[in-house]
Protein backbone atom coordinates (compact mmCIF):
# COMPACT_ATOMS: atom_id res chain seq x y z
CA UNK A 1 0.00 0.00 0.00
CA UNK A 2 1.02 3.65 -0.39
CA UNK A 3 1.71 5.37 2.91
CA UNK A 4 2.09 9.14 3.31
CA UNK A 5 3.56 10.31 6.62
CA UNK A 6 4.15 13.84 7.91
CA UNK A 7 6.70 14.41 10.64
CA UNK A 8 8.52 17.01 12.70
CA UNK A 9 7.72 20.61 13.52
CA UNK A 10 6.98 23.39 11.10
CA UNK A 11 8.51 26.86 11.29
CA UNK A 12 6.98 30.28 10.71
CA UNK A 13 9.22 33.27 10.05
CA UNK A 14 9.07 36.23 12.46
CA UNK A 15 11.74 38.16 10.59
CA UNK A 16 14.53 37.08 8.18
CA UNK A 17 16.54 35.45 11.00
CA UNK A 18 13.94 34.34 13.58
CA UNK A 19 11.09 31.86 13.61
CA UNK A 20 8.46 30.28 15.86
CA UNK A 21 8.38 26.50 16.07
CA UNK A 22 7.93 23.74 18.68
CA UNK A 23 9.89 20.96 20.39
CA UNK A 24 8.84 18.16 18.01
CA UNK A 25 11.89 16.09 17.05
CA UNK A 26 10.23 14.16 14.21
CA UNK A 27 11.16 10.82 15.85
CA UNK A 28 7.59 9.43 15.93
CA UNK A 29 6.89 10.26 12.28
CA UNK A 30 10.28 8.92 11.15
CA UNK A 31 9.66 5.71 13.13
CA UNK A 32 6.28 5.34 11.39
CA UNK A 33 7.86 5.85 7.97
CA UNK A 34 10.56 3.27 8.79
CA UNK A 35 7.94 0.81 10.08
CA UNK A 36 5.84 1.23 6.92
CA UNK A 37 8.89 0.64 4.73
CA UNK A 38 9.80 -2.40 6.85
CA UNK A 39 6.28 -3.77 6.32
CA UNK A 40 6.79 -3.61 2.55
CA UNK A 41 4.81 -0.45 1.75
CA UNK A 42 5.77 2.46 -0.53
CA UNK A 43 6.43 5.43 1.72
CA UNK A 44 6.62 9.19 1.22
CA UNK A 45 7.65 11.26 4.24
CA UNK A 46 6.85 14.98 4.31
CA UNK A 47 9.21 16.34 6.92
CA UNK A 48 9.62 19.65 8.70
CA UNK A 49 13.15 20.68 9.75
CA UNK A 50 14.59 17.89 11.94
CA UNK A 51 18.03 16.53 12.82
CA UNK A 52 17.34 12.93 11.77
CA UNK A 53 18.79 10.89 8.90
CA UNK A 54 16.24 9.90 6.22
CA UNK A 55 14.87 6.40 6.89
CA UNK A 56 16.14 3.79 4.44
CA UNK A 57 14.00 3.32 1.33
CA UNK A 58 11.77 6.30 2.14
CA UNK A 59 11.21 9.21 -0.20
CA UNK A 60 11.65 12.35 1.97
CA UNK A 61 9.96 15.60 0.92
CA UNK A 62 11.41 18.47 3.00
CA UNK A 63 9.17 21.42 3.96
CA UNK A 64 9.44 24.37 6.34
CA UNK A 65 6.13 26.16 6.97
CA UNK A 66 2.52 25.02 7.43
CA UNK A 67 1.72 26.37 3.94
CA UNK A 68 4.59 24.29 2.45
CA UNK A 69 3.34 21.20 4.28
CA UNK A 70 -0.24 21.74 3.10
CA UNK A 71 0.95 22.05 -0.53
CA UNK A 72 3.05 18.88 -0.23
CA UNK A 73 0.19 16.91 1.39
CA UNK A 74 -2.26 18.08 -1.30
CA UNK A 75 0.18 17.02 -4.07
CA UNK A 76 0.58 13.53 -2.63
CA UNK A 77 -2.95 12.97 -1.35
CA UNK A 78 -4.41 11.10 -4.33
CA UNK A 79 -1.39 8.74 -4.29
CA UNK A 80 -1.85 7.46 -0.73
CA UNK A 81 -4.03 4.73 0.78
CA UNK A 82 -3.00 5.72 4.29
CA UNK A 83 -2.11 9.19 5.58
CA UNK A 84 -0.52 9.54 9.00
CA UNK A 85 -0.22 13.17 10.15
CA UNK A 86 2.38 12.93 12.90
CA UNK A 87 3.72 16.45 12.26
CA UNK A 88 3.38 19.09 14.96
CA UNK A 89 2.21 21.94 12.78
CA UNK A 90 2.65 25.40 14.32
CA UNK A 91 -0.82 26.84 14.91
CA UNK A 92 -0.11 30.56 14.53
CA UNK A 93 2.10 32.79 12.43
CA UNK A 94 2.71 36.54 12.34
CA UNK A 95 0.20 38.25 10.08
CA UNK A 96 3.11 40.19 8.54
CA UNK A 97 6.62 38.79 9.10
CA UNK A 98 9.12 41.68 9.27
CA UNK A 99 11.07 42.24 6.03
CA UNK A 100 14.17 43.30 7.92
CA UNK A 101 15.78 41.94 11.05
CA UNK A 102 14.32 43.41 14.22
CA UNK A 103 16.95 45.42 16.02
CA UNK A 104 17.36 45.01 19.74
CA UNK A 105 17.34 48.80 20.02
CA UNK A 106 13.72 48.83 18.73
CA UNK A 107 12.61 47.04 21.91
CA UNK A 108 10.48 43.87 22.15
CA UNK A 109 8.31 43.44 19.02
CA UNK A 110 4.53 43.43 19.19
CA UNK A 111 3.32 40.65 16.90
CA UNK A 112 -0.12 40.32 15.39
CA UNK A 113 -0.89 36.63 14.91
CA UNK A 114 -3.09 34.71 12.48
CA UNK A 115 -3.87 30.97 12.37
CA UNK A 116 -1.95 28.72 9.97
CA UNK A 117 -4.06 26.44 7.74
CA UNK A 118 -5.30 23.31 9.48
CA UNK A 119 -4.04 20.70 7.04
CA UNK A 120 -6.26 17.80 8.13
CA UNK A 121 -9.40 19.95 8.11
CA UNK A 122 -8.48 21.37 4.69
CA UNK A 123 -8.06 17.95 3.06
CA UNK A 124 -10.91 16.14 4.89
CA UNK A 125 -13.45 16.84 2.08
CA UNK A 126 -11.10 15.17 -0.43
CA UNK A 127 -10.86 11.85 1.42
CA UNK A 128 -12.03 8.95 -0.77
CA UNK A 129 -13.99 6.00 0.71
CA UNK A 130 -10.88 3.82 0.38
CA UNK A 131 -8.47 6.13 2.20
CA UNK A 132 -7.58 6.01 5.88
CA UNK A 133 -6.45 9.18 7.69
CA UNK A 134 -4.80 9.03 11.11
CA UNK A 135 -3.93 12.12 13.16
CA UNK A 136 -1.93 12.69 16.31
CA UNK A 137 -2.95 14.69 19.36
CA UNK A 138 -0.25 16.07 21.63
CA UNK A 139 -1.93 17.10 24.85
CA UNK A 140 -0.97 18.25 28.33
CA UNK A 141 -4.43 17.60 29.85
CA UNK A 142 -7.82 15.97 29.09
CA UNK A 143 -6.04 13.64 26.66
CA UNK A 144 -8.99 11.37 25.75
CA UNK A 145 -11.58 14.13 25.51
CA UNK A 146 -9.40 16.34 23.31
CA UNK A 147 -8.33 13.45 21.09
CA UNK A 148 -11.93 12.32 20.52
CA UNK A 149 -12.97 15.87 19.65
CA UNK A 150 -10.18 16.12 17.06
CA UNK A 151 -11.03 12.68 15.66
CA UNK A 152 -14.57 13.90 15.01
CA UNK A 153 -13.82 17.46 13.89
CA UNK A 154 -11.07 16.46 11.46
CA UNK A 155 -13.06 13.49 10.06
CA UNK A 156 -10.30 10.99 10.93
CA UNK A 157 -10.39 7.19 11.05
CA UNK A 158 -8.03 7.10 14.01
CA UNK A 159 -6.10 9.42 16.28
CA UNK A 160 -3.07 8.61 18.42
CA UNK A 161 -2.89 10.74 21.54
CA UNK A 162 0.19 11.30 23.63
CA UNK A 163 0.84 13.18 26.84
CA UNK A 164 3.48 15.81 26.13
CA UNK A 165 3.71 17.09 29.70
CA UNK A 166 6.16 14.34 30.73
CA UNK A 167 9.85 14.35 29.89
CA UNK A 168 10.20 10.57 29.46
CA UNK A 169 7.73 10.25 26.55
CA UNK A 170 6.21 12.14 23.64
CA UNK A 171 7.83 15.32 22.32
CA UNK A 172 11.56 14.95 21.72
CA UNK A 173 11.78 11.72 23.79
CA UNK A 174 12.98 8.32 22.54
CA UNK A 175 9.89 6.55 23.87
CA UNK A 176 6.16 7.09 23.73
CA UNK A 177 2.87 5.92 25.21
CA UNK A 178 -0.16 6.18 22.97
CA UNK A 179 -3.92 6.13 23.51
CA UNK A 180 -5.49 5.37 20.14
CA UNK A 181 -9.12 6.22 19.40
CA UNK A 182 -10.98 4.96 16.34
CA UNK A 183 -13.93 6.41 14.42
CA UNK A 184 -16.08 3.34 15.29
CA UNK A 185 -15.73 4.19 19.01
CA UNK A 186 -13.02 1.62 19.83
CA UNK A 187 -10.04 2.67 21.96
CA UNK A 188 -6.69 0.93 22.39
CA UNK A 189 -3.57 1.58 24.36
CA UNK A 190 0.12 1.21 23.54
CA UNK A 191 2.08 1.19 26.82
CA UNK A 192 5.40 3.05 27.16
CA UNK A 193 7.79 1.66 24.55
CA UNK A 194 10.38 2.82 22.02
CA UNK A 195 8.91 4.88 19.20
CA UNK A 196 9.86 2.05 16.79
CA UNK A 197 7.67 -0.40 18.76
CA UNK A 198 4.81 2.13 19.06
CA UNK A 199 5.03 2.75 15.31
CA UNK A 200 4.85 -0.95 14.39
CA UNK A 201 1.81 -1.51 16.63
CA UNK A 202 -0.07 1.55 15.42
CA UNK A 203 0.73 0.74 11.80
CA UNK A 204 -0.66 -2.80 12.15
CA UNK A 205 -4.03 -1.39 13.30
CA UNK A 206 -4.06 1.16 10.48
CA UNK A 207 -3.23 -1.52 7.89
CA UNK A 208 -6.32 -3.40 9.11
CA UNK A 209 -8.48 -0.32 8.65
CA UNK A 210 -7.23 0.10 5.07
CA UNK A 211 -7.89 -3.59 4.30
CA UNK A 212 -11.44 -3.32 5.74
CA UNK A 213 -12.21 -0.25 3.63
CA UNK A 214 -10.85 -1.92 0.48
CA UNK A 215 -13.04 -5.01 1.16
CA UNK A 216 -16.18 -2.94 1.88
CA UNK A 217 -15.66 -0.90 -1.25
CA UNK A 218 -15.20 -3.90 -3.52
CA UNK A 219 -18.42 -5.39 -2.04
CA UNK A 220 -20.34 -2.17 -2.71
CA UNK A 221 -19.06 -1.66 -6.25
O1 LIG B 1 -5.57 20.54 16.45
P2 LIG B 1 -4.27 19.89 16.73
O3 LIG B 1 -3.09 20.66 16.21
O4 LIG B 1 -4.00 19.48 18.13
O5 LIG B 1 -4.39 18.51 15.93
C6 LIG B 1 -3.35 17.62 15.80
C7 LIG B 1 -3.45 16.89 14.48
O8 LIG B 1 -3.79 17.81 13.44
C9 LIG B 1 -2.12 16.29 14.07
O10 LIG B 1 -2.36 15.12 13.34
C11 LIG B 1 -1.49 17.40 13.22
O12 LIG B 1 -0.55 16.89 12.32
C13 LIG B 1 -2.71 17.97 12.53
N14 LIG B 1 -2.62 19.40 12.24
C15 LIG B 1 -2.85 19.84 10.95
N16 LIG B 1 -2.75 21.20 10.66
C17 LIG B 1 -2.49 22.08 11.64
C18 LIG B 1 -2.32 21.65 12.97
C19 LIG B 1 -2.37 20.30 13.23
O20 LIG B 1 -3.11 19.02 10.08
N21 LIG B 1 -2.41 23.37 11.35
**What is the tens place of the pLDDT at every residue in 144-197?**
999 999 999 999 999 999 988 887 877 878 999 999 999 999 999 999 999 999
**pTM here?**
0.96
The answer to whether the CB of 133 is under 6 A from ligand 1 is no
Residue 99 lies in a domain: no
- 215 alpha carbon – ligand 1 mean position (Å): 29
Domain count, the chain: 1
Index of the ligand 1 atom closest to the CA of residue 146: 4
- Is the predicted pLDDT of residue 56 greater than 80, yes or no? yes
- Is the predicted pLDDT of residue 89 greater than 80, yes or no? yes
Domain at 149, CATH number: 3.40.50.10300
Residue 133 lies in a domain: yes
Show the beta-strand stretches assigned E in the chain: 2-7, 12-15, 18-20, 42-47, 59-62, 82-85, 92-94, 113-115, 132-139, 158-163, 175-182, 187-194
Q: What is the dihedral of CA 212, 215, 216, 221, to 10 degrees?
A: 160
Confidence (pLDDT) at 85: 98
Best mutation site among 22, 86, 120 for ligand 1 pocket (most ligand atoms within 8 Å of CB): 120
Residue 184 lies in a domain: yes
More confident residue, 201 or 214: 201
Q: Which domain holds residue 78?
A: 2-88+114-220
Q: What is the mean pLDDT of residues 57-63?
A: 97
- Is the predicted pLDDT of residue 221 greater than 80, yes or no? no
Confidence (pLDDT) at 184: 95
Instruction: Read off the pLDDT band of 31 (50, 70, 90).
Output: very high
Q: Decide if 22 is catalytic.
A: yes
Confidence (pLDDT) at 164: 81
Strand 113-115 versus strand 92-94 pairing type: antiparallel
Q: What is the mean pLDDT of residues 21-48?
A: 97
- Length of the chain, please? 221
The answer to whether the CB of 32 is under 6 A from ligand 1 is no
Amino acid sequence: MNVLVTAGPTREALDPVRFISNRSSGKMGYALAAAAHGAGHRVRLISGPVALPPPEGVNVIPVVSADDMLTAVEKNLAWCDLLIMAAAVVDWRPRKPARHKWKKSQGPPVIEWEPTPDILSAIAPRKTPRQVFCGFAAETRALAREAKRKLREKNLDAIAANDVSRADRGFDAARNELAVFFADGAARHIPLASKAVCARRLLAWLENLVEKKVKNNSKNS
